[in-house]
């Protein structure tokens, strides 16, 4: 059961091949026996999951089931879950049990999903390797000496390793797409505002967006159907109507114009990865798409722009972790200043502190105009580049990452090298566009992702392109070696 897609599991549940309780037990057992290799979960919710599974079985029996009823999934530990610890990968929230659910969790629960537990992540979603977690790094199921990508590394690894059929993630600068690419799964970052941010621990408010991570585009569409929609409690959530994201999956790609930004195929792109992407693009051409070279002339400004805006917002979003009301508090504070400084010094990891410092600096009097304000101006130029491109093409395509998953520890001492990992994904967040990564080849035994970028609220089109591509290829169907099978 563990290597099936969500769509296949839905069919199995609804035809009575297996119950949600059996399915859930299967995944919980796999997590218990295998996750010590990957460290993809921070918390596993055995009892709650089994209770939810039994409730789902009742709904199925009563004929009150939707496509997600009884489907086990894993939540990134950034989403608040009522009664279940939500650590955000940080010592700061190691003891934090929210008394509320994130809107995304509420919506999925309403549709009957079974939450298996909470997945590992870079602390406060800051990182591209999942090495910045208080709970230790996650290992890539394809090569346990390699990183799974980040920050949604736990979600990506869990799906790749068959510990969950699907998972939720968040993407502030590539945190769904990059780990999806590294782990050979499909990940969708929707348009900014498509999915509510309420109850999702904030990193950079104007960039954060939650989305699905699963084996296939079709599964992502099923999950997005539940997750997407306006939330009156999130002022930045969009009122643009949602649609049935499954309805157009099988549409023909005949006449589809795909833009290839020349800036995404230049120096810095691993040649073997480039070859995989070329092959994938030929596949899309064969499906009827036309390839058009386009330009995103401000691409070279993406990293500096992002690394001003995201840390600036993070520096103030993280001010609430002060040891006063919840979360970590230092031992025996002598006075208020001591409480603040030691709580934050001890509670936050290195990368988080680095970004708080950078962000605080960028917002300081005398630097604001040169950094934050300038970055916002450049952000508009970057967004305009995309809008201009979408005058000529329907979808933009390119590599998700410059190369396949790198070795654990190989970049952890060099923040700038780490930041360069996100060079193809950051602009999508700055522009607020939807972006998706689909498996598109293998390099040295590790997966490579093809990134597809859509117009604002063009998720259905992206999913359609991903689905047709997956109908014609089998990269998404490949699985890393399964230790459970080997053991048997």
Q: How far is the CB of 80 from another protein (least distance, A)?
A: 5
CB atoms within 10 A of CB 473: 18
Contact status: 233 vs another protein (CB under 8 A):
yes
Question: In sequence order, what are the residues at sequence separation of 6 or more whose Cβ sits closer than 8 angstroms to the Cβ of residue 297?
Answer: 263, 385
Closest CA to 176 of 125, 145, 211, 135: 211
DSSP one-letter code for 414: -
Our CB check for another protein shows the closer of 33 and 233 to be: 233
Binding mask 380-419 for another protein (x = CB under 8 A): ----------------------------------------
Give the nearer residue to another protein in terms of CB position, either 370 or 484: 370
Give the distance, in angstroms, between the CA of residue 480 and the centroid of all CA atoms in the same chain: 20
Q: Is 471 in the site for another protein (CB under 8 A)?
A: no
CB of 257 to another protein, least distance (A): 33
DSSP 93-143: GTT---SS--HHHHHHHHTT-EEEEEE--SGGG--SSS-S-TT----BTTB
Question: Of the ranges 35-43, 143-151, 274-282, 365-373, which one interacts with another protein (CB under 8 A)?
Answer: 365-373
Dihedral of CA 368/295/291/478: which sign? negative
* 446 noted as active-site residue: no
100 counts as binding another protein under rule CB under 8 A: yes
Euclidean distance between CA atoms 446 and 442, whole angstroms: 5
Helix (H, G, I), strand (E, B) or coil at 246: coil
- Write down the least CB distance from residue 117 to another protein, Å: 18
Q: What does the angle CA 20 – CA 24 – CA 29 come to, to the nearest 5 degrees?
A: 150
Site for another protein in 133-172 (CB under 8 A): none
Could you confirm whether 175 is annotated as catalytic? yes
Residues 307-326 that bind another protein (CB under 8 A): 312-313, 315-316, 319-320, 322, 324-326
Contact partners, residue 364, CB within 8 Å, separation at least 6: none
Active site residue 76: yes
360 forms part of the interface with another protein (CB under 8 A)? yes
Sheet with 186-189: strands ordered across: 41-44, 114-119, 72-76, 166-170, 210-214, 186-189, 435-443, 446-453, 395-399, 257-261, 290-294
Active-site option among 20, 40, 43, 151: 151
- Residue 107 CA from chain centroid, whole number: 18
| 345 is a contact residue toward another protein (CB under 8 A) | no
Q: Which of 43, 155, 175, 315 is catalytic?
A: 175
Q: Residues touching another protein: how many (CB under 8 A)?
A: 42
Nearer to another protein, 200 or 220 (CB): 200
List the catalytic residue out of 19, 20, 76, 226: 76
Q: For the chain, how long is the longest CA-to-CA vector?
A: 69
3 state SS of 453: strand
Find the shortest distance in angstroms from Cβ 86 to another protein.
7
- Closest to another protein by CB, 163 vs 308, is 308
Under 8 Å between Cβ of 452 and 403: no
Query: Among all residues, which ones are annotated catalytic?
Result: 76, 151, 175
Q: Which residues bind another protein (CB under 8 A)?
A: 79-80, 86, 88, 93, 96, 98-100, 102, 197-202, 204-206, 232-236, 312-313, 315-316, 319-320, 322, 324-326, 336, 340, 360, 363-365, 368, 372
């Amino acid at each position: 059961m563990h290597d099936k897609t969500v769509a296949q599991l839905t069919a199995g549940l609804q035809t009575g091949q297996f119950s949600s309780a059996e399915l859930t037990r299967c995944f919980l057992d796999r997590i218990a026996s295998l996750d010590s290799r990957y460290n993809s979960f921070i918390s596993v919710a055995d009892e709650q999951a089994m209770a939810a599974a039994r409730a789902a079985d009742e709904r199925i029996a009563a004929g009150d089931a939707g496509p997600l009823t009884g489907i086990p999934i894993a939540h990134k530990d950034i989403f608040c879950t009522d009664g279940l610890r939500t650590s955000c990968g940080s010592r700061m929230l190691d003891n934090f049990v929210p008394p509320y659910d994130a809107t995304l969790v509420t919506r999925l629960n309403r549709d009957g999903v079974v939450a298996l537990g909470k997945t590992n992540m870079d602390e406060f979603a800051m990182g591209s390797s999942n090495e910045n977690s208080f709970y230790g790094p996650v290992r890539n199921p394809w090569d346990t000496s390699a990183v799974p990508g980040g920050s949604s590394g736990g979600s990506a690894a869990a799906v790749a390793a068959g510990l969950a059929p699907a998972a939720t993630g968040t993407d502030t600068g590539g945190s769904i797409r990059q780990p999806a690419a590294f782990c050979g799964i499909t990940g969708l970052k929707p348009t900014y505002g498509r999915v509510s941010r309420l109850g999702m621990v904030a990193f950079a408010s104007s960039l954060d967006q939650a989305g699905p991570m699963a084996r296939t585009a079709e599964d992502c569409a099923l999950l997005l159907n539940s997750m997407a929609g306006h939330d009156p409690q999130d002022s930045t959530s969009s009122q643009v109507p949602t649609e049935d994201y499954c309805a157009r999956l099988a549409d023909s790609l005949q006449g589809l114009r795909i833009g290839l930004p020349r800036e995404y195929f230049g120096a810095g792109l691993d040649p073997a990865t480039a070859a995989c992407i070329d092959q994938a693009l030929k596949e899309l051409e064969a499906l009827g798409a036309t390839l058009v070279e386009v330009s995103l002339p401000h691409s070279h400004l993406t990293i500096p722009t992002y690394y001003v805006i995201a840390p600036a917002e993070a520096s103030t979003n993280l001010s609430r972790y002060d040891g006063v009301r919840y979360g970590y508090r230092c031992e025996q504070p002598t006075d208020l200043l001591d409480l603040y400084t030691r709580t934050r010094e001890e509670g936050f990891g290195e990368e988080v502190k680095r970004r708080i410092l950078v962000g605080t600096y960028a917002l300081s009097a005398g630097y604001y105009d040169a950094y934050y304000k300038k970055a916002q101006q450049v952000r508009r130029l970057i967004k305009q580049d995309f809008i201009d491109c979408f005058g000529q093409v329907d979808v933009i395509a390119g590599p998700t990452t410059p190369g396949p998953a790198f070795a654990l520890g190989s970049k952890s001492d060099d923040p700038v090298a780490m930041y360069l990992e996100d060079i193809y994904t950051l602009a999508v967040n700055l522009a607020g566009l939807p972006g998706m990564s689909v498996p598109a080849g293998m390099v040295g035994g590790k997966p490579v992702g093809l990134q597809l970028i859509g117009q604002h609220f063009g998720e259905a089109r992206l999913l359609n392109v991903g689905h047709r591509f997956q109908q014609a290829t089998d990269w998404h169907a490949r699985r890393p070696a399964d230790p459970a099978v080997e053991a048997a």
